[in-house]
Amino acid sequence: MSVIRLSDVDTGFRQRLAGIAALFCFLGLQYGTWASRLPAIVAGLDLNTADVGLLLLACGVGAGASFPLVALLMRKLGSRRLAGASALCLCLVLVALAVTPDYPVTLVIMCCDGIAVACLNVAMNAQGAALEVEHGRAAMSRLHATFSGGSLAAALLASGVTALSPALSVHFGVATAVLLLLAGYAWSRLLVADVAPEKKERRRFSLTSRMTICLGFAMVFGTVAEGAMNDWSALYLKDIAHAAASLTPMGIAVFSAMMVLARLFADGWRSRWGDRLVVLVGSALAGVGLAVALVLGGVAPALIGFTCVGLGIAAVTPCVYAAAARQGAEALTVVAAMGVTGLLAGPPAIGFVANAGNLVWGMSAVVVSALLVCLCASRIDWAGRLTE
């Protein structure tokens, strides 16, 4: 008769957590890499604000339209193999962006990026949910912290590489090599089964249920705010705040740094105060902080406002994913797909608003989104907590 020691269980949890975290870091790094060089891509293709909005919309359309495909692939491949396949596709996307010849081809590339991001997002969150179920321990916030860490690393890598060479091919080549290392590290540590058979969910899933609708919209509004900081902060600092070129990537950097910091502590906040209060207070801070920054104007207020958004919005998606996972695998897939849609389709919508006015109006839409998260959070059943 074998004896399972607690130290062995804890070691297994940490190893699985590290592997899944590498996937989250992978996605943050890949996304942050091309987002941090968006001004260079725009300049190289000679695009206006509306063109940029359409470019980002192509990414969102790919993500939003891919839900039936993602659901099918999850059933056929499982989250582990789907994560591996989508990670390789995202590496190819970066290579393609570095050598894209014109705007129409770039639109196709960004659409493919949206599909691959949707696949990886659902797969890695399914892995995270399965880890929490298997070990009965909260992990989702720490996993999402590594996504933010990947975005932060992407911004710093962009600043470092462009100081040596402004060529996109050099920057994206280095980033692709790092991404392949992360994917290789994650592969052997991922869970083979998504959810243990004896722990499968018993709740009945319904697209029309109030809970599903509230979770979905909370995810959309939260990811709109998150995506806007990644896609538009650099251009806001350049065009509205008139920051120096060396400072424009710092919008993503300060936002991502606060996201990482908040998410490292968010599992403790969830255990102490509950998901509802964490999401309500955080989204209010994000909306009010950015609103004040937009009114004041300037580089310093902008960076402070981006900091408030990072700190406040950080716990929204981990809490929503955890609540969706308690509703079942299908609900998790739908909410994750809606999250990717908000992350990728929200920023182009902001671009269209900015094109009609300016980026101050576009960023004002982020304020509205953050406050709408408050409304949705008040309608969600946040019952069920895990230990740290």
Distance CA 179, CA 174 (A): 9
Q: What is the pLDDT of residues 264-295, one digit of tens each?
A: 888 888 878 888 999 999 999 999 999 999 99
- 61, 113 contact by CB (below 8 A): no
The helix/strand/coil state of 387 is: strand
Q: What is the pLDDT of residue 195?
A: 55
The helix/strand/coil state of 139 is: coil
Q: What is the pLDDT of residue 94?
A: 93
Quick check: is 28 in a domain? Answer: yes
Quick check: is 297 in a domain? Answer: yes
Distance CA 273, CA 206 (A): 29
Distance CA 44, CA 322 (A): 41
Q: What is the pLDDT of residue 11?
A: 79
78: alpha, beta or left? (left if phi > 0; alpha if psi -120 to 50): left
Q: Which domain holds residue 73?
A: 16-192+205-377
Quick check: is 81 in a domain? Answer: yes
Mean pLDDT score of the chain: 84
Q: What is the pLDDT of residue 282?
A: 95
Distance CA 246, CA 158 (A): 10
Q: What is the pLDDT of residue 327?
A: 77
Stretches in the chain below the pLDDT threshold 70:
1-9, 194-208, 328-329, 344, 383-388
Q: What is the pLDDT of residue 202?
A: 46
Structure tokens that stand for 361 in this block: 């109006």
Quick check: is 11 in a domain? Answer: no
- 238, 252 contact by CB (below 8 A): no
Q: What is the pLDDT of residue 388?
A: 59
58-94: b or e for each residue (b if 16 or more CB lie within 10 Å)?
A: bbbbbbbebbeebbebbeebbbbbbbbebbebbbebb
Angle CA 56–249–184, to nearest 5: 75
Quick check: is 299 in a domain? Answer: yes
Quick check: is 278 in a domain? Answer: yes
Q: What is the pLDDT of residue 312?
A: 94
Structure tokens that stand for 5 in this block: 């020691």
Q: In 3D, which of 25, 21, 199, 32 has the Cα closest to residue 127?
A: 21
Quick check: is 382 in a domain? Answer: no
Q: How many separate domains does the chain show? A: 1
Runs of H (alpha helix) within the chain: 6-36, 38-45, 49-65, 67-99, 103-135, 140-164, 168-187, 210-239, 250-273, 275-296, 299-313, 316-327, 329-356, 359-377
Report the CATH number that the domain containing residue 54 is assigned in CATH: 1.20.1250.20
Quick check: is 387 in a domain? Answer: no
Q: What is the pLDDT of residue 5?
A: 52
